[in-house]
Structure 1
Amino acid sequence: MLNSRQFIDLFRKQGRKLFATRQLSNFKPKQFSLNSEFFENYTPDEETINEIEESTKIRKSHGSVQLLRHHYKNFMNESESEKRKDLRSKLITELKKFPNKTHPTVLSYGADSDKVELYSFGDLHNNPMPDFKSYEELGKMSTTIRTSNLGNFTGPGSYYFMDSVAKLARALVDYTMDNLYKEGFQLITVPDILPAELIEACGMTVDDHATQVYRLKPSDLCLSGTSEMALAGFFSGKTMKAEDAPKKVMATSRCFRAEASAASVDGSLYRVHCFTKVEMFSACLPTQSDGLLEEFRDIQRRLFEGLGLCFKLYDMPVYDLGLPAYRKYDIEAWMPSRKSFGEISSTSNCTDYQSKRLNIYFEDGGKKFHAHTVNGTACAIPRMIIAILEQYQTSRSIRVPEVLQPYMGETELRSSTKVPPTRIAKHKEKKEKKKGKEKQ
């Protein structure tokens, strides 16, 4: 009979064999193709390259203007068709690495501007509790959050929610979705595994050394970092009627991030590798995207005001926009354990950056044109848990926000009585004691 250690070793070996017989490369969706119609028919000119060069002076970019000009010059000077085709391919590949244009208001802040505060709600941060405890202390005391002793199977950046905190997480999702239904959003369930091509088309790098994307090698598939990408993929290749715009959808999904930050100030729940998030997304007309960004921002405000959280709303500067964003708003909630405000949501207008790469169109009177896309975080669970636990604690308990009480059936968060604090013992092989020599 196998002992426990032998059983584990056998399980691992058999698991590797089983996994090897079902290589992920076999699961790559053969029908998925991102041959962008826009880039197949587009060649930049000198004016466009000059505009890109000016943009890269204030925006982060993965592209090289020098290389872009080099490919463009060679392309224009080449006469042989096959060489021109190859040079044009290199030109377009480099062109795709540059960021979106920037909203004039954001440009007016200046290249060195910090985020601009537009709105604040609540003043809890001015009246800290004398016996304040961090969310980590509260979770440990009540045994409702476990973020340590996970090294044997998940490692740092992972967590368990139990009892009242687990119910709080579920209540936050239900509260958020109920409010988004009222705002006209359609619920879509999305896949958690996506082609790398789709992720890059949405503006995230996959193979860069600083990427946050988990790659499922040896395949070309990745774990989704946010349902925004799957929702954008849902509209890929579609041509919709202009009278049906805007298309507003939402998704609740697991999000996977290879977070590189190990700063102690981030704590064990602020940056995690997997979490639940409710996301808003829209494909709309070019004339609607600016207004829709304001609508998403106002929805976020109402959600967090309804929860009674102390937070600030910021218009983000150019250095924080990322590749696809034309303009972005962030909301940060007061987190006493960090002694600062921490981001709990953002919303971005990506204009036609994603739709040009994903072939998303609207049609009006026989005229076909690229859609604009807008996305926004409605609820990211772990950081919302931090904000609520730390802002709603009293000297005796942690109150449940009034709007969540009907979802939970509780007015206070309770300690866990079912799941005691746990320590995972490492598996160690027992050394056999040396037996005494037998008498001859």
Structure 2
Amino acid sequence: MLQLNAIRENKDAFISALKKRNLQADTIIENVLQLDENRKATQTQLDNTLAEANKLSKEIGDLFKSGKAKEANDLKEKSAHLKEASKQLTDDLNSISTELQNALYQIPNIPHASVVAGKSEEDNEEVFKEGTIPTLFEAALPHWELAKKYDIIDFELGVKIAGAGFPVYKGKGARLQRALINYFLDKNTEAGYTEVQVPHLVNEASGYGTGQLPDKEGQMYYMPEDDLYLIPTAEVPVTNIFRDVILNEKEFPITYTAYTPCFRREAGSYGAHVRGLNRLHQFDKVEIVRVEHPDKSYQALNGMVEHVKNILRELKLPYRILRLCGGDLGFTSALTFDFEVFSTAQDRWLEISSVSNFETYQANRLKLRYKDENGKSQLAHTLNGSSLALPRVLAGILENYQTEDGITIPEVLVPYCGFDRIG
């Protein structure tokens, strides 16, 4: 959430920056500033009314003590009117404050200066590419056919149990899935991230804290009986560890990693591009989250990008990195780098990771602050990244490592899964 003072002081710059997201923000920004003026005016009126009521109450008390009951009772009627007025002003203030908060929730983060304007993923910038795309044999198969051929993932059984988008991993498929989770966690902890296990359900405050609510409310699974949401990513519970926390500057950097299943409704997703593991309602992911000093957050972002690069190098998968344009940038992000692995059998790139800096946007929602060297409270910066999302990594391994007589397991994963081939 953007800070009101920053909006007021940089109104024109913010409106211009939001155009990168194809958002004409003039009306939204003006509405926020007007609501803030109304809030401040109402607060002043309430303060004055309460002060007058307190003064009157003292006068009434003094009159009763002096035996002037009639004068005191005359003033009590005026006091009653002031109490009624203060009650109405309190209700008005609460209403305006709620409207202002909701209006602020509707404004996305300001893109970083390096983000280019663009309308869709077609306008994203490729900033890095590495790895050799293998040349497959003529009868090479996409991963959903390989899964069926070697009986390692059963999509139809998942439909029977839950519905489309809930695959069942079997035998070596399940072991390979577990191997990837353990490998990713080990790589992250070796890099200094502290592993945590977190709830897979969160409350509404947590959803608002990291920005999934209200922006992605329709994409999250919701349980009204308990007023809880299934998590779309570990980012939500891990980052909310720091909701309403004031840190000491010396505690930076704070680095966490977590494995969780992720749940996304993916409403409106149909067609060949979502076949197999390409898009699921439930999938596994290992996440990295950082809380940083504002002066160090972009250095940390670069470090996260290098960290994911090293994992993909060890897996020997061809990949590229995109800097997202304004039109494809996530609602809460200031700058995002997407990693994509090349699916040889599908002849297209598949997104496997997003690494983002949210600057103070999430921290302002979370009330996540730190005390600087002068003892003043400042907003921290938050970052997160997939390290990594499993479905498309697995799809890339199955397709790029397939041979005519089976699927070779990447060398780095063999100690984790206990076999070097499928088939």
Residue number in structure 2 paired with 1:58:
20
Higher helix proportion: 2
**Pairs within 5 Å for 1:165-204:** 165-204=173-212
Residue number in structure 2 paired with 1:409:
418
Q: Spell out, residue by residue over 1:22-73, the C-alpha distance to the aligned partner (whole angstroms, 9 max, x if none).
A: xxxxxxxxxxxxxx9x97xx56765444344323322266x97525524643
Asked if the contact 1:202/1:354 (under 8 Å) is kept, the reply is yes
Whole-angstrom CA distance in 2 between matches of 1:73 and 1:100: 20
Whole-angstrom CA distance in 1 between matches of 2:22 and 2:287: 25
Asked if the contact 1:306/1:403 (under 8 Å) is kept, the reply is yes
Match for 2:368 among 344, 347, 360? 360
Whole-angstrom CA distance in 1 between matches of 2:215 and 2:35: 27
Asked if the contact 1:206/1:213 (under 8 Å) is kept, the reply is no
Asked if the contact 1:75/1:84 (under 8 Å) is kept, the reply is no
Asked if the contact 1:156/1:268 (under 8 Å) is kept, the reply is no
Secondary structure (helix, strand or coil) at the match of 1:338 reads: coil
Tell me, yes or no, if structure 1 residue 385 matches structure 2 residue 347.
Answer: no
Secondary structure (helix, strand or coil) at the match of 2:327 reads: helix
Q: Spell out, residue by residue over 1:225-265, the C-alpha distance to the aligned partner (whole angstroms, 9 max, x if none).
A: 00101011111122222122100000011111101211222
Q: Which has the larger radius of gyration?
A: 2
294-303 vs 167-176, greater mean Cα deviation: 167-176
Asked if the contact 1:60/1:99 (under 8 Å) is kept, the reply is no
**Pairs within 5 Å for 1:3-152:** 42=4, 46-59=8-21, 65-70=26-31, 72-73=33-34, 76=37, 80-81=45-46, 82=89, 83-84=92-93, 86-106=95-115, 109-111=116-118, 114-124=123-133, 127-152=135-160
Residue number in structure 1 paired with 2:356:
348
The offset of 1:376, in angstroms, is 0.4
Whole-angstrom CA distance in 2 between matches of 1:247 and 1:295: 14
The 3 A distance-change label for structure 1 pair 174 and 96 is same
Whole-angstrom CA distance in 2 between matches of 1:308 and 1:75: 54
Asked if the contact 2:233/2:262 (under 8 Å) is kept, the reply is yes
Whole-angstrom CA distance in 2 between matches of 1:251 and 1:75: 39
Whole-angstrom CA distance in 2 between matches of 1:105 and 1:72: 27
Match for 2:238 among 231, 237, 245? 231
Residue number in structure 1 paired with 2:301:
293
Secondary structure (helix, strand or coil) at the match of 1:324 reads: coil
Whole-angstrom CA distance in 2 between matches of 1:55 and 1:119: 25
Residue number in structure 1 paired with 2:346:
338
Secondary structure (helix, strand or coil) at the match of 1:287 reads: helix
Identity %: 27
Kindly tell me the number of residue pairs found equivalent between the two proteins: 371
Amino acid at match of 2:274: D
Residue number in structure 2 paired with 1:244:
251
Structure 1 length-normalised TM = 0.79
Whole-angstrom CA distance in 1 between matches of 2:360 and 2:247: 15
Asked if the contact 2:223/2:229 (under 8 Å) is kept, the reply is yes
The offset of 1:74, in angstroms, is 5.9
The 3 A distance-change label for structure 1 pair 272 and 302 is same
113-122 vs 97-106, greater mean Cα deviation: 113-122
The offset of 1:407, in angstroms, is 1.2
Whole-angstrom CA distance in 2 between matches of 1:330 and 1:220: 32
The offset of 1:75, in angstroms, is 5.3
Amino acid at match of 2:233: T
Which residues of structure 1 form unaligned runs of 5+?
A: 1-35, 415-440
Structure 2 length-normalised TM = 0.82
